[in-house]
Amino acid sequence: MKKLYFLLFISCTLFSLQSNAQQDPQYTQYMYNPQTINPAYAGSRDATTFGLLLRTQWVSLEGAPKTGTFSANTPLGALENMGLGFSIVSETIGPSVDTNVTVDYAYHINTNDVNKLSFGIKAGIDLLDVDFNKLQVADLGDPRFQNNIDNKLQPQFGAGVFYYSDNYYIGLSTPNILKTKHFDESSLEDTQVTSVGSESIHYFLSAGYVLKINDGLKFKPATLIKAVSGAPLQWDVSANFLYNEKFTLGLAYRWSAAMSGMAGFQVSDEMFIGVAYDYQTTDIEAFGNGSYEMMLRYDIFNKPERVLTPRFF
């Protein structure tokens, strides 16, 4: 029964002939993984930063999304007013594997003694593979499922701005401003074309603030709003507490979608690990036992003083 429900989900979304919008991967720990959505973040931490994030969505639901993200960024230039980044994002949903590889460049401007404004661009490629043999197709002769998609290549180009200091940030970005089609709707009569699925422009607005409650406790509310044509507005809000610069605990809510719990531990001055669990507030929770996320961040500090006061984002 679970497989039947997910195949229905696949057929109604990813491979629907009337599909005109496709959501990018979502993250619960977005406050620790902003580079994937905003290239202007690259080089903002005054450290060479490596990040790894793994997400399994709707556990126990066969074919549900699984996402892996690797990113790296570093400040550049004598004044460290530039940043360079690199990221790989791969998402598997049912029979499809969508992978994008991008390079980020950012330029940072000091607006005063504590605040900076950064402009960034992102460029790369997106590869799509779909193996229709993994589906249970009712009509084996259906021409839309006869030809697999192998290494369907699409360009990716994005941009963003990021305004920040040591205790707050706000960013606006779109990871891909090119509205490309994985398949051509006008060519449906061609047997080489199986279905239609377009890549729509996504807009992200992110913000966060770090409030020092006392010498051992910090509070950080954060939010992320994602908008894409043809899909409902997605709004995430979260609240994290950092105790003694070591332990992080937090809660999050994705509007009309999920409630989440988060925990993190600063293993050393350089290494931070975090985990998150989502409980779906929609009917899909009856078929998938929540979603899990794990992330690892490693910093090589360019300025020793940053070790003494690590930034909470």
Question: pLDDT per residue over 218-232, tens digit each?
Answer: 999 999 999 987 778
Pick left, alpha or beta for residue 80 (phi over 0 → left; psi -120 to 50 → alpha; otherwise beta): left
Q: What is the dihedral of CA 71, 10, 179, 162, to 10 degrees?
A: -40
> What average pLDDT does the segment 276-295 reach?
89
Average pLDDT of the chain, as a whole number? 83
Instruction: Identify the CATH class of 2-308.
Output: mainly beta
Question: pLDDT per residue over 188-204, tens digit each?
Answer: 444 444 444 556 788 99
Residue 180 confidence (pLDDT): 62
- Asked if residue 237 has pLDDT above 90, the reply is yes
Dist. CA 120–CA 159, nearest whole Å: 6
pTM of the shown model? 0.83
> What average pLDDT does the segment 114-141 reach?
85
Q: What backbone phi and psi angles, to 5 degrees, belong to 94?
A: 55, -120
The residues spanned by each domain of the chain are 2-308
- Asked if residue 18 has pLDDT above 70, the reply is no
38-47, 185-194, 250-259: range with lowest mean pLDDT:
185-194
CA 129, chain centre distance (Å): 20
Residue 15 confidence (pLDDT): 40
* % of the chain beyond a pLDDT of 70: 80
> What average pLDDT does the segment 26-54 reach?
92
- Asked if residue 244 has pLDDT above 90, the reply is yes
- Beta strands per DSSP E along 57-115: 66-76, 82-93, 96-110
Please, which pLDDT band fits residue 95 given cuts at 50, 70 and 90? confident
